Amino acid sequence: MSGHHPSTTQATVRDRVFELFRAFGTTTIFGNPGSTELPMFRDFPPDFRYVLALQEMVAVSMADGYAQATRNAGLVNLHSATGLGHSLGAVFTAYKNQAPLVIIAGQQARSILPFEPFLFAERAAEFPRPYVKWSCEPARAEDVPAAIARAYYTAMQPPRGPTFVSVPVDDWDRSCDPVEPRRLATAVRGDPLLLSEMAEALSGCARPAFVVGAAVARDDAWDEVVGLAERHRARVWGAPNSGRNSFPEDHPLFAGFLAADREKIVASLTSHDLILVLGAPVFTYHVQGFGRHIPEGARLFQLVDDPAVAAWAPVGTAVVTNLKTGIHDLSDGPEPRPRVTPIGRIPSPRLSGPGLSDAFLMQQVAQLRPKGSIIVEEAPSSRGAMHDHLPIVDRDGFYTCASGGLGHGLPAAIGVALARPREKVIALLGDGSSMYAIQGLWTAAQLGLGVTFVIIKNRRYEALVNFGRYFGLQRTIGTSLPGIDFCALAQGQGIKATAVDRHDALDDALRTAFANVAQPTLVEVAVD
């Protein structure tokens, strides 16, 4: 009576969903399971990999690093409302990172939902909003594969980001029809007329400055930005709190990093008559500021991948576009007017002992790290030291969270390492930051990933001590972190670890850790 072909009715929701994952080229699932998730993994296919995280923030942040580094959506499976709840800080960060994720969480069986059963997720699809682009609990089991397909396509559409599907536990074994994987072209090509106007203005201006942000890296526009900056002899600034690197930081045109502070941004950009922002919000402020957003007399043009950013930007002309094609289109402009090459960054003086500062650590990491190694950073008060002493020179060579939410860096480094198995990944982590997701070390050990975790041990939340001063506090409560032994925490999870507290012991410890490509290592560095 059904009229269905027997082979289509025999396949289950689970079969259909795994077929889709295969078609999407996503065969790694990050997760932490519970009773309501287990049936999804019945007869787990041998061509898939399940990466177990011991806490849900770890699962989402690993998937985030993996998704950014592979440029494909990361799959995550979490346990009902409780597992999703644990992960929400990391979902917020993935949203800000524009990391495409498909997060699936279990729901109780449909037949007992009226009785508010144990582990029932109430209004499941609403729970992760507004930090998912789309979420759904399908009306019928048969609708699950199509919902997951839509979640994937939506996650991958620029601006990319996480999506969520809640799946009742009894859905996986139900039979259903196949869902054809589809091809979607969703990259936006910016308005050619406005782009050619911008190209003309750029060629005609006297002193251009570029501000480069994460979308340059997301859209793989590294060569295009370098070419455009060289053609126009523009000074190039890193956007405030950018989550990615977008320009060689040893390039003579590189001017440094803008602060997340309105008045300081204006001061840095003074003397430029045209500011071209490539793939960044204008601007990311961390503290209150007043007055102008850009220097008097300057014009601002912006190429962004996110229409929302174009809408809320306080000044300037914006084109929503893929950055690679957008910058390419800008390069077609008229011959730039003759300009003298601007002055780049003043190199930081070399440091030596006997002190062991975070700046000295950054300098030695820069000197000893393997060529092509990738830095994943979450060390708030040491970021300036890193900018000064550890230039990032390779495309896709740097990741940090764009949200300011700590707990991302340690697991994200693991995700990046899974995506880029031939490269050394070095995680530079504050002692406080590392503790939000320290269980990630266990996963790194189990996977035998050669990540080096460097813990910058200043025994406090130094960034907050600095903020206390900014706010004029006499004493900043809740900021000291005595009595944490990171080597013990690492060894207890199967990771080799060394503690360094003298400047002359640092190089050996770093060299040994960097040389180990078969296993993770941790170096705890006590800084003054």
Which residues of the shown chain bind ligand TPP in the complex (CB under 6 A)?
89, 379-382, 404-407, 430-433, 436, 458, 460-464
Judged by beta carbon, residue 325 or residue 458, the one nearer ligand TPP is 458
* Chain CA centroid to CA 520, Å: 21
- Report, in Å, the least distance between residue 462 CB and Mg ion: 5
Judged by beta carbon, residue 201 or residue 487, the one nearer Mg ion is 487
Residue 209 makes CB contacts below 8 A (sequence gap 6+) with 234, 235, 236, 237, 255, 269, 272, 274, 275, 276
Judged by beta carbon, residue 238 or residue 432, the one nearer ligand TPP is 432
Residue 217's nearest CA partner among 327, 340, 105, 55 is: 327
- Report, in Å, the least distance between residue 482 CB and ligand TPP: 12
Say which entry of Mg ion, ligand TPP, none residue 87 contacts (CB below 5 to 8 A, set by partner kind).
none
Rounded CA gap, 193 and 232, in Å? 20
Q: Is 116 designated active site?
A: no
Residue 138 makes CB contacts below 8 A (sequence gap 6+) with 144, 146, 147, 165, 167, 171
Say which entry of ligand TPP, Mg ion, none residue 108 contacts (CB below 5 to 8 A, set by partner kind).
none
End-to-end CA distance of the chain: 78
Say whether residue 378 binds Mg ion (CB under 5 A).
no
Judged by beta carbon, residue 65 or residue 106, the one nearer ligand TPP is 65
Q: Catalytic residue among 4, 126, 200, 286, which?
A: 286
Say whether residue 261 binds Mg ion (CB under 5 A).
no
Q: Is 34 designated active site?
A: yes
For residues 379 to 418, the per-residue mask of contacts with Mg ion, x marking binding by CB under 5 A and - elsewhere, is ----------------------------------------
Computed over its alpha carbons, how large is the radius of gyration of the chain? Answer: 24
Q: Catalytic residue among 19, 34, 142, 175, which?
A: 34
Say whether residue 56 binds Mg ion (CB under 5 A).
no
Residue number closest to ligand TPP, CB atom: 430
Spatial contact of 58 and 86, defined as CB atoms under 8 Å apart: no
Judged by beta carbon, residue 423 or residue 431, the one nearer Mg ion is 431
List the one residue from 31, 128, 397, 432 that touches Mg ion (CB under 5 A).
432
Judged by beta carbon, residue 321 or residue 458, the one nearer Mg ion is 458
Packing angle of the helix pair 56-70, 440-447 (nearest 10 deg): 60
Query: Which residues does residue 525 pair with via DSSP β-bridges, in sequence order?
Result: 456, 500
Q: Catalytic residue among 4, 35, 271, 353, which?
A: 35
- How far CA 172 is from CA of 37, 110, 145, 211, in Å, comes to 9, 12, 10, 48
Spatial contact of 323 and 315, defined as CB atoms under 8 Å apart: no
Residue 283's nearest CA partner among 256, 316, 305 is: 316
Q: How many CB atoms lie within 10 A of CB 263?
A: 14
Q: How many CB atoms lie within 10 A of CB 180?
A: 10
Q: Is 61 designated active site?
A: no
Q: Which stretch binds Mg ion (CB under 5 A): 307-315, 318-326, 351-359, 427-435?
A: 427-435
Q: Catalytic residue among 289, 316, 384, 404, which?
A: 404
Q: Is 35 designated active site?
A: yes
Do strands 521-526 and 496-500 pair parallel, antiparallel, or not at all (unpaired)? parallel
- Identity of the amino acid at 519: Q
**Element (DSSP H or E) covering residue 166:** strand 162-168
Secondary structure of 139-150 in HEC code, one letter for each residue: CCHHHHHHHHHH
- Supply 264's token pair: 């300081």
**CA torsion, ordered 331, 157, 411, 41, to nearest 10 deg:** -150
Q: Is 232 designated active site?
A: no
Say whether residue 458 binds Mg ion (CB under 5 A).
yes
- Report, in Å, the least distance between residue 405 CB and ligand TPP: 5
Say which entry of Mg ion, ligand TPP, none residue 464 contacts (CB below 5 to 8 A, set by partner kind).
ligand TPP
Judged by beta carbon, residue 329 or residue 431, the one nearer Mg ion is 431
- Report, in Å, the least distance between residue 453 CB and Mg ion: 14
Q: Is 56 designated active site?
A: yes
Say whether residue 377 binds Mg ion (CB under 5 A).
no
- Report, in Å, the least distance between residue 93 CB and ligand TPP: 9
Q: Is 286 designated active site?
A: yes
Q: Catalytic residue among 31, 61, 65, 79, which?
A: 79
Q: Active-site residue numbers?
A: 34-35, 37, 56, 79, 286, 404
For Mg ion, the binding residues (CB under 5 A) are 430-432, 458
